[in-house]
């Protein structure tokens, strides 16, 4: 692969991985399996290793994970919560073992602790003494000398997590306090930190999905994301109903250092203190026995009652761990052995369409039931129309079905031999949404069909929660529990119906009293005065986030002018490209969305905005910023360029007019020189702005 091809592929991989990180970590709505994600990341790592000059600080390989969601206070971690490097074969495991032994030095005695790799959500729990407990506002009476749960923090981006203490307290396997006697027996100080995994048992997961399907909601993809979504729910009573579990696996000091000299001792101490510690763990001195442990774990995984997707192997000695240290994103002293996916062969009886909460239409294969990995499988995802085409799948075909970490399996190939004859019926994607009958759309260059009706019953819960979010219409009190009840009782069938709710209707809901009802009605009424950009953001138009909505409002000044704008007129707005313009036009071209807007207008929402006054000396010019400028931040420079009518792009191309380069400029500067693009420093940019 030539340098230019490598650069193009790297940029494409980064864009794809970032999107899937956002879906996974930000929205808890993954569209690909762990194996597919790992494959993309491996390819990116390989290309960057071959082209180190193309590595950038914002590459997905240079950080741990996605950014934390909004809605909970942010808390820094005592030390980063890093991911683990993966191996998928015995050879890769032995290579890791050789590297670890070499780095540790020949004199180091290496032994390992093997633990099941629980497929859940990482969590840090902080415990403190009576004084610390009082400082964070706990009202419980505790035993003198006891240690109490002070704070529960999600992994977040690895450096900063979310404070979800109220939700963690509902997990029955999390001790709310630990007596002085237990602390002494476990050799734990009164102030310490426990790290572990929040998991949703399979029985609880299946029960939750049965309830969701009965309510007309799409089922959760897997227990891992169900656990993550539950922990981030703003309603602790919902968390309590989901019956999550917490398994502890690290004991740290308040400053984030290991509390014990051996990892095996830390696990025993946590179990002694009353934490749930996975019983399937073993201290092992020989890599051959480590591999035997992995093989036994894979045989047992179907009978555990919770999902595991591999085995974690850690060097037992804390001293050796310190010596080995970390790479940019993972410890050198631990590795995750990931299991291969489980598979079976069965017949495709039919193909149905499932409409997700974002309006995406997903084809699902209806299968002759087959037993795979401890579960009877009767449905499997086909992802999209292109995947059906790639497989060459016909209804009636026999197929190989895999079930990896996802409880909802996927079809991986058509089986064609004398024992498995081909089917005879081709599947055609519907022209209308099977739920609301709106015409479906497919954006050029994308593989997915979507329903863009914001009031489609299949996506209404998502539309309402987004519309009421703090950064959107800021309707405090309209959480998931209230929205679900409003939909169940038929009180809301459209976003606009929020503005016709009455006190009497709200009082009919569970756990809603007069004070709460009046407060919610006041919040709904207050939202009417918010500016046009918040309304645009709230409509859930694809690709139109907070900033794009702001730019659209400032450019057009009214909902009517925006609705009347052509795709070409939309593309003249900064940061609105062809795909965004097409998505906006698709939204406003849908008759049901226009009807929704008229209902919102009648309800009294603000449909106007003050147009931004800007100069035009840089109109039609495209800039790229790279490196660190001496006085301006990138945000400041971007704002100045856009205020003068220019456009700021993230990549250099033949259409770029200027590259503004500061200190430590990277590959973008090299590409500008290669293409003959004019290069400016900060002083030259300021001169251009002032001209």
Structure tokens at 415: 């089986």
Q: What is the mean pLDDT of residues 259-273?
A: 94
Structure tokens at 518: 């009046």
Q: Tokens 């630990």 correspond to what residue?
A: 178
SS3 526: helix
**Amino acid 628: pLDDT:** 86
Lowest mean pLDDT among 190-194, 424-428, 441-445, 588-592: 441-445
Lowest mean pLDDT among 235-239, 321-325, 500-504, 642-646: 235-239
Q: Tokens 């979310």 correspond to what residue?
A: 162
Question: Residue ranges of the alpha helices (H) in 51-175?
Answer: 90-104, 130-135, 165-168
**Amino acid 137: pLDDT:** 44
Architecture of domain 3-62: Orthogonal Bundle (1.10)
444-494, pLDDT tens digit by residue? Answer: 777 889 999 989 998 898 899 999 988 899 999 998 889 989 998 999 999
Q: How crowded is residue 114: how many other Cβ atoms within 10 Å of its Cβ?
A: 23
510-547, pLDDT tens digit by residue? Answer: 889 999 999 999 999 999 999 999 999 999 998 898 88
**Amino acid 222: pLDDT:** 78
Q: What is the mean pLDDT of residues 364-380?
A: 85
Mark whether 117 is an active-site residue. Answer: yes
- Give the residues across from 195 on adjacent strands: 124, 250
In this structure, the strands spanning 647-649 and 147-154 are unpaired
Specify whether the CB–CB gap between 404 and 338 falls below 8 A. Answer: no
Q: Where in the chain do CATH 1.10.287.610 domains reside? A: 3-62
**Amino acid 70: pLDDT:** 47
Architecture of domain 75-338: 2-Layer Sandwich (3.30)
Asked whether the predicted pLDDT for residue 49 surpasses 90, the reply is no
**Amino acid 605: pLDDT:** 96
Question: In the CATH hierarchy, which fold is given to the domain comprising 622-690?
Answer: Rossmann fold (3.40.50)
Q: What is the mean pLDDT of residues 635-639?
A: 81
Specify whether the CB–CB gap between 606 and 559 falls below 8 A. Answer: no
141 falls in which pLDDT band (50, 70, 90)?
very low
Structure tokens at 450: 């979507």
Strand stretches in 42-188, DSSP E: 74-76, 86-87, 112-118, 121-128, 147-154, 160-162, 177-178
217 falls in which pLDDT band (50, 70, 90)?
low
Lowest mean pLDDT among 29-33, 435-439, 669-673: 29-33
**Amino acid 135: pLDDT:** 43
Burial of 109 (0-12, 13-18, 19+ CB in 10 A): exposed
**Amino acid 409: pLDDT:** 84
Cα 508 from Cα 491, distance rounded (Å): 10
69 falls in which pLDDT band (50, 70, 90)?
very low
Q: Tokens 């600080």 correspond to what residue?
A: 57
229 falls in which pLDDT band (50, 70, 90)?
confident
Asked whether the predicted pLDDT for residue 142 surpasses 60, the reply is no
**% the chain with pLDDT above 90:** 48
- What is the pLDDT of the chain when averaged over all its residues? 86
User: Which residue out of 12, 69, 74, 117 is catalytically annotated?
Assistant: 117
Q: Which residues contact 567 (CB under 8 A, 6 or more apart)?
A: 578, 581, 582, 585
Alpha carbon 54 to its chain centroid, in Å, reads 26
Q: What is the mean pLDDT of residues 659-671?
A: 88
Best CA proximity match to 530, nearest among 609, 626, 414: 609
Asked whether the predicted pLDDT for residue 133 surpasses 60, the reply is no
SS3 128: strand
Q: How would you list the strands of the sheet with 281-284, edge to edge? A: 86-87, 334-338, 308-315, 112-118, 281-284
166-177, pLDDT tens digit by residue? Answer: 888 888 888 888
Q: Which tops the pLDDT comparison, 444 or 311? A: 311
* Phi, psi at 90, each rounded to 5°: -65, -40
Q: CATH for 342-415?
A: 2.40.50.140
**Amino acid 71: pLDDT:** 58
**% the chain with pLDDT above 70:** 91
Asked whether the predicted pLDDT for residue 232 surpasses 60, the reply is yes
Q: Which tops the pLDDT comparison, 301 or 216? A: 301
- This prediction has a pTM of 0.51
Structure tokens at 405: 């970490």
Q: Where in the chain do CATH 2.40.50.140 domains reside? A: 342-415
Q: Where in the chain do CATH 1.10.150.20 domains reside? A: 460-603
238 falls in which pLDDT band (50, 70, 90)?
confident
375-385, pLDDT tens digit by residue? Answer: 788 889 898 88
Q: How crowded is residue 88: how many other Cβ atoms within 10 Å of its Cβ?
A: 16
17-48, pLDDT tens digit by residue? Answer: 877 765 664 445 677 777 778 788 888 888 98
CA distances to 86, 113, 116, 286, 350 from 337, in Å: 6, 13, 10, 16, 36
Question: In the CATH hierarchy, which fold is given to the domain comprising 460-603?
Answer: DNA polymerase; domain 1 (1.10.150)
SS3 544: coil
Q: What is the mean pLDDT of residues 334-342?
A: 88
Q: Which residues contact 515 (CB under 8 A, 6 or more apart)?
A: none
**Amino acid 514: pLDDT:** 93
**Amino acid 107: pLDDT:** 62
Q: What is the mean pLDDT of residues 580-608?
A: 94
Q: Where in the chain do CATH 3.40.50.10190 domains reside? A: 622-690
Q: What is the mean pLDDT of residues 192-202?
A: 94
> What number of residues does the chain have?
691
Specify whether the CB–CB gap between 539 and 466 falls below 8 A. Answer: no
64 falls in which pLDDT band (50, 70, 90)?
very low
Lowest mean pLDDT among 59-68, 289-298, 374-383, 582-591: 59-68
Specify whether the CB–CB gap between 496 and 600 falls below 8 A. Answer: yes
Cα 55 from Cα 325, distance rounded (Å): 22
């Amino acid at each position: 692969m030539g340098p230019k091809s490598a650069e193009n592929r790297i940029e494409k991989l980064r864009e794809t991985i970032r999107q899937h990180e956002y879906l996974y970590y930000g929205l808890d709505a993954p569209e690909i399996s762990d194996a597919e994600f790992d494959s993309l990341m491996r390819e990116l790592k390989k290309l960057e290793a071959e082209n180190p000059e193309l590595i950038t600080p914002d590459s997905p390989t240079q950080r741990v994970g996605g950014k934390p969601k909004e809605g909970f206070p942010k808390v820094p971690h005592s030390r980063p919560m890093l991911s683990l490097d993966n191996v998928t074969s015995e050879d890769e495991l032995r290579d890791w073992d050789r590297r670890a032994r070499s780095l540790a030095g020949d004199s180091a005695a290496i032994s390992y602790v093997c633990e099941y790799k629980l497929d859940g959500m990482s969590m840090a729990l902080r415990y403190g003494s009576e004084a610390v407990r009082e400082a964070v506002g706990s009202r419980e009476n505790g035993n003198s000398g006891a240690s109490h749960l002070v704070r529960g923090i999600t992994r977040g981006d690895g450096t900063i997590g979310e404070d979800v203490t109220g939700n963690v307290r509902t997990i029955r396997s999390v001790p709310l306090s630990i007596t002085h006697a237990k602390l002494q027996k476990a050799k734990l100080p009164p102030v310490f930190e426990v790290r572990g995994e929040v998991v949703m048992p399979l029985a609880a997961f299946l029960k939750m999905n049965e309830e969701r399907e009965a309510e007309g909601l799409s089922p959760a993809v897997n227990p891992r994301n169900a656990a993550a979504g539950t922990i981030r729910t703003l309603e602790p009573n919902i968390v309590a109903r989901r019956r999550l579990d917490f398994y502890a696996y690290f004991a740290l000091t308040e400053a984030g250092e290991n509390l014990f000299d051996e990892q095996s001792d830390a696990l025993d101490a946590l179990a002694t203190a009353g934490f749930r510690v996975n019983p399937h763990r073993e201290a092992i001195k020989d890599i051959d026995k480590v591999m035997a442990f992995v093989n036994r774990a894979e045989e047992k995984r179907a009978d555990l009652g919770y999902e595991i997707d591999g085995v974690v192997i850690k060097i037992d000695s804390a001293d050796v761990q310190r010596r080995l240290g970390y790479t940019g994103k993972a410890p050198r002293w631990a590795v995750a052995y990931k299991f291969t996916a489980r598979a079976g062969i069965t017949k495709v009886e039919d193909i149905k369409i499932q409409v997700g909460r974002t309006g995406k239409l997903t084809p699902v294969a209806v299968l002759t039931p087959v037993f795979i990995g401890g579960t009877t499988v009767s449905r499997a995802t086909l992802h999209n129309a292109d995947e059906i085409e790639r497989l060459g799948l016909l209804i009636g075909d026999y197929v190989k079905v895999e079930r990896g970490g996802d409880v909802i399996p996927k079809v991986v190939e058509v089986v064609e031999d004398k024992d498995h004859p081909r089917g005879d019926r081709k599947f055609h994607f519907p022209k209308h949404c099977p739920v609301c009958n709106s015409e479906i759309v497919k954006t050029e260059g994308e593989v997915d069909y979507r329903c863009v009706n914001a009031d489609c019953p299949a996506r209404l819960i998502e539309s309402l929660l987004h519309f009421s979010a703090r950064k959107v219409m800021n309707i405090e009190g309209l959480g998931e529990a209230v929205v679900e009840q409003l939909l169940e009782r038929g009180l809301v069938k459209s976003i606009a119906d929020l503005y016709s709710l009455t006190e009497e209707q709200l009082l009919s809901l569970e756990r809603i009293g007069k004070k709460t009802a009046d407060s919610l009605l006041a919040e709904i009424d207050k939202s009417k005065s918010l500016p046009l950009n918040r309304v645009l953001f709230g409509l859930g138009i694809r690709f139109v986030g907070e900033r794009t909505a702001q730019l659209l409002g400032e450019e057009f000044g009214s909902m009517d002018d925006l609705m009347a704008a052509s795709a070409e007129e939309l593309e003249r707005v900064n940061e609105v490209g062809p795909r965004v313009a097409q998505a906006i036009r698709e939204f406003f071209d849908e008759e049901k969305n226009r009807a929704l807007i008229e209902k919102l207008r009648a309800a009294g929402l603000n449909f106007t905005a003050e147009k931004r006054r800007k100069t035009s000396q840089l109109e039609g010019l495209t800039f790229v910023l790279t490196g660190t400028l001496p006085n301006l931040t990138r945000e400041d420079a971007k704002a100045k360029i856009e205020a003068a009518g220019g456009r700021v792009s993230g990549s250099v191309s033949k259409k770029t007019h200027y590259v503004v380069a500061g200190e430590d400029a990277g590959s973008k500067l090299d590409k500008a020189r290669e293409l003959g693009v004019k290069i400016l420093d900060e002083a030259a940019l300021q001169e251009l702005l002032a001209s």
